[in-house]
Amino acid sequence: MAPIGLKAVVGERRGLLRVLYLF
């Protein structure tokens, strides 16, 4: 559960960074 949670958080942060770079 912990590893999956960390991966989910990292994925969300990466997605936000990509959106910021796109804009």
pLDDT of residue 20: 77
pLDDT of residue 22: 73
Tell me: the pLDDT tens digits for 1-23? 567 777 878 888 888 888 777 76
pLDDT of residue 18: 82
The pTM assigned to this predicted structure is 0.34
CA–CA distance, 23 with 6 (Å, rounded to integer): 26
CA–CA distance, 14 with 12 (Å, rounded to integer): 5
Structure tokens at 20: 């910021």
